[in-house]
A and B are shown apart, each in its own frame.
Chain A
Amino acid sequence: MHADPKGVLTGVHFLDGDHACCEGTLAAGARFAAGYPITPSTEVVERFAWRIPTVGGIFIQMEDELAASIAIQGAVWGGAKAFTVTSGPGFSLMMEHIGYAAITETPCVFVNVQRGGPSTGLPTLPAQADMMQAKWGSHGDYSIIALCPNSPQECFDLTVTGFNLAEEFRVPVMMMLDECVGHMTEKVIIPESDQIAITPRRFTHESPEEFRLFKPKEDLVPDMVKAGDGYRFHVTGLTHDERGYPSMNVETQDRLVRRMQDKLKPFSNGRALFEAVDLDDAEVVVVSYGITSRVAQRATQMARAQGVRAGIFRIISAWPFPEQHIRDLAGRVKAFVVPELNLGQMVHEVERHTAGRAKVISVPHAGGSVHKPEVILKAILEAAR
């Protein structure tokens, strides 16, 4: 299935990451957005509010992020593709409904343009310190997908991908931008609509009599319905059986929670999204994502100029973590260098999957700006020694 041309602004544009992300939502088929203003993310829904009346859809500014993050799920069960947008403090409020989307298997997209924290922190300045929150922020065991664009072009492309993955796996997808990527302006090419692949909603073909709302298909993901079609279905945040009925017992809990985790296994084993640069001969690999990967690029060029064989493994899908790729690399490189705009988050995942087979060097930064390339270079040179 291809994109509905009504939402696709085909052409060559000069857009910032937030606006490109908005164009991605429209190209992906999102016709419902709910939001609450928060810097540095608001431009995404400002553009949506400007664009959607001529495309045909709804933007509603809700009373807070709790409301925005559940209104989109009401819209999804009404049949829409829907998303919300926020930053740190709002992302914290949305945790409740990330859990609800996970347990009700509601396909939807949460855009988080990361800023410095904790709390109100640095509203206008970058950080990448919500990476663990994206994975673990809501209570209980559950799995999500998180994507990290590093340019406005990728903000467009990956937003379309994010919606497609949400539909395929029926999970909430986190678009983990950072303030720099959200606010940098670059060339963005939006293709013709027939060049944009869209994953349709997995609407069931079964009759209301035979359909079971949470009966998994072969890929462990159940098919879906929307309200108003005569299925008389029940959705609950309680642990539920295949009918969707609450069921308070150990067996149902075990089956449901394990399936929600297992359905995403293909993503950590083979379908992970990443970019590999100069890895063939690399002795030191810089593992980075988002804006930091662009600083890492400069640092590895400087390292190569000094005779150190440095390469880049750029994480694009951060969750599920691309563990297989790190394991494979760990067996043949000397060290990983992990710069991030936090005091060490994804580096723990790198360490875990390296399992002692290579050095892992964290290059932390408390946020508010990006690393200097020299700081990453220094770590690369140390690692190569």
Chain B
Amino acid sequence: MSEAMLDTPLDPALDPTLDPMNNATNPVEPFLRMDRMPHIWCPGCGIGTTVNCFARALESSKLDLNKVAIVSGIGCTGRVAGYANLDSFHTTHGRAIPFATGLKLSNPELQVVVYSGDGDLFAIGGNHFIHAARRNMDIKVICVNNLTYAMTGGQTGPATPTEVISATSPYGVFEPSFNLVQLAEAAGASYVARWTTYHVKQLARSMEEVLHKKGFCFIEVLSPCPTLYQRRNKMGDGLDAMKFYKEVSKVRNGASTGECALTKSGEIVVGKFVDRDRPDYMELLNRQMTATLGERYATPEVTCSEG
């Protein structure tokens, strides 16, 4: 991603597109289904920020957008697919990854991005996550982690830190939570990074990076939920969340993921933690079949033809 792009000024005086009275189109509009606006997300929610980063990453990636597909599960982040101006799939709860697996294997020229939330990907969908990482399936998983089930009213999830008050933990969470980046690395992901919605430049850069990286890639984005998470925990509004992220985040690229666990108010280690090259599923499949079957092996041609 070009620095010029990342440095888009946020001052309407410097950038007329930011002036609400100006009818010029927003630069990310071509990447969105504008006929579906306004979106459903609350004021102060961070999901829109991640989508903005994703749109900018798509633009700077120079990928043919007809060959990029986005798959979401269920929840607030599950709605991202519906707003992206791409071939998009809003699947069932937790199943975005296995859907994406079928999509990618049947149509390998697609770049398949899974965009979903922490509850969807790591509770109901947790098994699919670790197996796709194990296989090094060539899909890119972006997890917007707001530390709660927001769509259903702010219940405890697998990433909710202890001591947090939630709709289903009115006396405080006592279950240990997952360290998502450590889980991703242990399961075999080729690329693992974590950012917050305060780190928009770094996030957009990571997203662009994974769009050009082979294998199972994982980006965790910490994102505020003022309506259901912060309010219950007296953590202020969306702006307070930005201040909090700014204050407690420490950029440590290459940090050991085992030391990146999250707590309610402690340090948030951000950065790119893993970037390694492992053969992906299709490469392993082709290698094995060629070694075993030689010329009898027929390269998969999965799509069916018209009449």
Contact = CB atoms under 8 A, between A and B. Distances in A.
Nearest to A72: B102
A137 interface: no
Contacts of B101: 60, 62, 67, 71, 74
B95 interface: yes
16 contacts: A32-B106, A34-B102, A53-B297, A62-B131, A73-B99, A74-B103, A78-B303, A82-B102, A227-B87, A227-B103, A227-B107, A228-B107, A233-B88, A234-B88, A236-B89, A237-B90
Interface of A is mostly: mixed
Contacts of B131: 62-63, 67
Contacts of B293: 53-54
A260 interface: no
A75 interface: yes
Interface string A77-98: 1111110000000000000110
Nearest to A199: B307
B298 A75 contact: no
Interface string A90-128: 000000110010000000000000000000000000000
B33 A234 contact: yes
Query: Which 7 interchain pairs have the tightest Cβ spacing?
Result: A74-B102, A79-B303, A78-B106, A78-B107, A56-B298, A200-B307, A71-B102
A57 B300 contact: yes
Contact of A233 (B67, B87, B102, B300): B87
Nearest to B111: A228
Given A63-B127, A72-B102, A78 B92 contact: no
Interface string B91-119: 11011011111111111011000000000
B86 interface: yes
A325 interface: no
A29 interface: yes
Contacts of B127: 63-64, 67
A231 to B, nearest CB: 7
Contacts of B85: 232
Nearest to B135: A60
A58 B302 contact: yes
A357 interface: no
A282 B126 CA distance: 58
A78 B95 contact: no
Q: Give the one of A34, A78, A228 with max B CB within 10 A.
A: A78
Given A77-B89, A232-B86, A54 B297 contact: yes
A230 B87 CA distance: 8
B76 interface: no
Contacts of A60: 101-102, 105
B103 A77 contact: yes
A78 B98 contact: no
Interface of B: 33, 36, 65-67, 69, 71, 81-82, 85-92, 94-95, 97-107, 109-110, 127-128, 131, 285, 289, 293, 296-307
A201 B304 contact: yes
B196 to A, nearest CB: 29
Contacts of A236: 81-82, 89-90
A81 B221 CA distance: 36
Nearest to B87: A227
A79 B304 CA distance: 6
Given A60-B101, A237-B91, A74 B110 contact: no
B102 A54 contact: no
Given A31-B300, A75-B105, A232-B87, 9 more contacts: A31-B303, A32-B102, A58-B285, A67-B98, A70-B91, A70-B98, A71-B99, A77-B89, A96-B95
Contacts of B92: 70, 96-97, 100, 237
A66 B131 CA distance: 13
Contacts of B297: 53-54
Contacts of B296: 53-54
A287 B102 CA distance: 39
A234 to B, nearest CB: 5
A74 B89 contact: yes
B14 to A, nearest CB: 32
B110 A78 contact: yes
A227 B109 CA distance: 10
A14 interface: no
A236 B131 CA distance: 24
B301 A31 contact: yes
Nearest to B127: A63
B7 to A, nearest CB: 29
B300 A58 contact: yes
Contacts of B88: 232-235
Contacts of A200: 304-307
Nearest to A99: B92
Nearest to A201: B304
Contacts of B128: 63, 66-67
Nearest to B105: A58
Contacts of A77: 87, 89, 103
Contacts of B97: 67
Contacts of B298: 6, 53-56
Contacts of B33: 234
A1 interface: yes
B90 A234 contact: yes
A235 B91 CA distance: 8
Given A232-B87, A234-B90, A80 B106 contact: yes
B66 A229 contact: yes
Contacts of A233: 87-88
Contacts of A64: 127
B99 A81 contact: no
A274 interface: no
Contact of A70 (B86, B99, B110): B99
A200 B92 CA distance: 27
A245 B302 contact: no
B179 to A, nearest CB: 21
A66 B303 contact: no
